[in-house]
Copies of this chain bind each other. A is one copy, B any other.
Amino acid sequence: MATFSDIGASAAINLLSAIVFLVAFAILRLQPLNDRVYFPKWYLKGIRGSPTHSGAFVRKFVNLDFKTYTRFLNWMPAALKMPELELIDHAGLDSAVYIRIYLLGLKIFVPLTVLSFAVLVPVNWTDGTLEHSKDLMFSDIDKLSISNVAPGSNRFWAHLVMAYVFTFWTCYALYSEYKKIAFMRLHFLASESRRPDQFSVLVRNVPPDPYESVSEHVEHFFCVNHPDHYLTHQVVYNANSLAKMVSQKKGLQNRLCYYQNKYERNPGRKPTTKTGFWGLWGKTVDAIDYYTEEIEKLSKEVISERERVISDPKAIMPAAFVSFKTRWGAAVCAQTQQSSNPTSWLTEWAPEPRDVYWANLAIPFVEISIRRLIIAVATFFLTFFFMIPILFVQSLANIEGIEKVLPFLKPLIEKKAVKSIIQGFLPGIALKIFFILLPTLLMTMSKIEGHTSLSTLERKSAAKYYLFVLVNIFLGSIITGSAFEQLNTFVHQSATEIPKTVGVSIPMKATFFITYIMVDGWAGIAGEILRLVPLIIFHLKNAFLVKTEQDREQAMDPGCLNFASSEPRIQLYFLLGLVYSVVTPILLPFIVVFFGFAYLVFRHQIINVYDQKYESGAAFWPDVHCRIITAMIISQLLLMGLMSTKSAEQSTPLLIALPVLTIWFHRFCKGRFEPAFVKFPLQDAMVKDTLERATEPNFDLRSYLQDAYIHPVFKDDAFERPATVDDEENNILVPTKRTSHRSTPAQSKYGSEVSSDTGA
């Protein structure tokens, strides 16, 4: 029952911490030393050179041009300046569409805020129910909410009408956004230059043939069934163990590099290491010799393993990337059924080479079905019962438990200060660790499900995470008690009781969620822009591993938009906004500020920092759309429940039409737009084919596609840095300005703007 001043104080604290983050960011980003942490995107594009090239020694590391500090907030207008088309060109469609989610949040909630403040706040405020009732604690915030309206009052008509208005507005915004993004996707696909995935189809579950190898079988099958279009194919090798070895080798090379650097800086003393685990115990040996030897040994193993994989027919998986002479042929093959057995010769669009998740390409149909069942059951248990193992760990990880397992720590622990810290700290730590590990855990589960591309894996993880957030953060905060207890409650309540139970608690939790928005939303986003973890890691690597410019390139960790864990969090804000729009409108401005601020920050980040690992062409939008629809339906049902406890049951028939209409709207949008995200129209394929035949009649497609879908471990040098086998291929990643012919106007403009900003 917080008052305005409580909320104000909380807002002040969170604003202050956000501002501290922003100021820290403003100062840190101007230091040339950190340039590669805050502008890695430009380095990767090859537009920005290293600031350490020129100038005085000190100025290499610290920015002494104090004038630039006075402009410390001008990254904000800079972030907004780049037009959307150039943004797509610069950062890819995925990123450009991802920040449109925040824009959609603004589009939906700014009018909702205005309307609810114009209509609902006065309606709530002028009814004096809470003032007249004596037994209720209430605050000013509650006076602005629906709680202040007397049961059975005619004022509920205002809420009812507003619920309709909000639903229609949200649907309209969703519709126009879906339309826009479908158009952007089709335009993006149509204007893309030649890419291997446009001509290729991933074929899985190639049936075994006793007389032919997989490769021959694939070739014969497609020669017969797509005689005019089949061009070539690449079989998939099971190179998982090879990939593991190569990654081991890379780790050893890093260590060797570290010791070599150490030796160079201090040539008097040869560095030593121990042969045991992580160099912690075992025999002491000369480090450089030891690692050189180890690497050589491993190199030989890698070579023999590579030969084994290539020559052993058992290492060939029953899957292949089949390429066609035309985009039309590939589009046809991807969309049709090949064999009368629908579980063999399964075809689908090939993901782009960077996007392939190689380990999952060979799972048979029946096994995939069983894996999905297991993961579905596991997701259910994880969502509703995750507290049980955590409680178990917590019960072990108390002071008595530690004393029992590690008795020698007893004297230390028994000290009062240490004891109180442990007691305060331990119960939370298991939960905290769980939440940190959750995205990884969900990603592992999605991998077990057997999806074949990274983009799909991310989408599936996001779906699981959304369920978790919905149940454990949203419902868990409204109805106190663990998700398991809630499940128990819901199972034993009727379909009409559940929205009532939840709906009644909704207005009471408004202040909690306002605080949540400020802490998780405002301060969290400000923390995002500071990039504290990559900053520290970069400087550590710089200190110990970097020798050449090339090494410094690799030490950069631009990171990327993590769709799997960040999108479900945005969805929580949509859900909160929609649920509270009618109930407690005072929450809406906080949501609007979150969306606005996040839009700004992420636009800055995708321009200057993130480097996406793959490009899926905004394939995630149907999921985003679907989840906002879910949020709408939840908000409508909860409003219905709340209304019926306010002696306004006569509104139920009117309110029940809302979810029906919303579901219908969803189905309509699905039919209208979803094919644009799943299929590829033949007309567009034909247009591109025709155009290409006219402009480049002699292009050798076969050699272009030859090695496009080779497992990354077979590309020797490529494995060190997976080459982007798209149109950016020609941009060799050296720090020279303007080697790229495509991204000239935008990148140079913004590149130089940002460069001058850091005063290099």
A residues apposed to B, CB below 8 Å = 186, 190, 221, 224-226, 228, 328, 331-332, 335-340, 342-343, 345, 365-366, 369, 372-373, 376-377, 490-497, 660, 664, 667-668, 671-676, 679-684, 686
Contacts and interface: CB of A to CB of B under 8 A. Distances in A.
Contacts of A684: 340
Given A190-B340, A224-B683, 8 more contacts: A186-B340, A228-B228, A332-B332, A335-B336, A340-B676, A342-B671, A366-B668, A495-B495
A381 to B, nearest CB: 12
A332 B336 contact: yes
B342 A331 contact: no
Q: Shortest 3 CB-CB distances between A and B: which pairs? A: A342-B675, A337-B679, A335-B336
A427 B339 CA distance: 58
Q: Which of A331, A340, A675, A683 has the most CB of B within 10 A?
A: A340
A222 to B, nearest CB: 10
A670 to B, nearest CB: 10
A336 B667 contact: no
Contact of A494 (B497, B676, B683): B497
Given A224-B686, A332-B332, A369-B671, A339 B491 contact: no
A345 B221 CA distance: 30
17 contacts: A335-B337, A336-B336, A337-B680, A337-B681, A338-B683, A339-B681, A340-B683, A342-B681, A343-B672, A365-B672, A369-B664, A369-B667, A369-B671, A372-B667, A491-B495, A492-B494, A494-B495
Contacts of A228: 228
Nearest to A334: B336
Mostly helix, strand, loop or mixed at chain A's interface?
helix
Contacts of A338: 681-683
A674 B342 CA distance: 8
Contact of A683 (B225, B331, B332, B680): B225
A494 B494 CA distance: 3
Contacts of A376: 664
A663 to B, nearest CB: 9
B336 A660 contact: no
B682 A337 contact: yes
B342 A336 contact: no
Nearest to A368: B671
Contacts of A366: 668
Nearest to A657: B377
Contacts of A490: 495
A490 B497 CA distance: 12
A673 B495 CA distance: 35
Contacts of A373: 660, 664
Nearest to A490: B495
B340 A225 contact: no
A153 B671 CA distance: 53
A722 B607 CA distance: 67
Q: Which of A224, A225, A492 has the most CB of B within 10 A?
A: A225
Nearest to A497: B494
A672 B492 contact: no
A718 B119 CA distance: 67
B664 A336 contact: no
A621 to B, nearest CB: 14
A237 B67 CA distance: 76
Given A491-B496, A492-B496, A660-B377, A342 B683 contact: no
Given A225-B686, A491-B496, A668 B342 contact: no
Contacts of A673: 342
Contacts of A337: 335, 675, 679-682
Contacts of A664: 369, 373, 376
A660 to B, nearest CB: 7
A491 B653 CA distance: 14
Given A342-B671, A672-B365, A673-B342, A336 B679 contact: yes
A664 B493 CA distance: 26
Given A373-B664, A664-B369, A671-B365, A683 B339 contact: yes
A490 B631 CA distance: 25
Nearest to A335: B336
Contacts of A668: 366, 369
Nearest to A374: B664
A682 B336 contact: yes
Contacts of A495: 490-495
Contacts of A225: 328, 682-683, 686
A660 B671 CA distance: 29
Contact of A491 (B328, B365, B494): B494
Given A377-B660, A671-B369, A681 B340 contact: yes
Contacts of A339: 681, 683
Nearest to A228: B228
A339 B687 CA distance: 11
Nearest to A676: B342
A666 B226 CA distance: 33
Nearest to A373: B664
A280 to B, nearest CB: 46
A204 to B, nearest CB: 13
Nearest to A227: B686
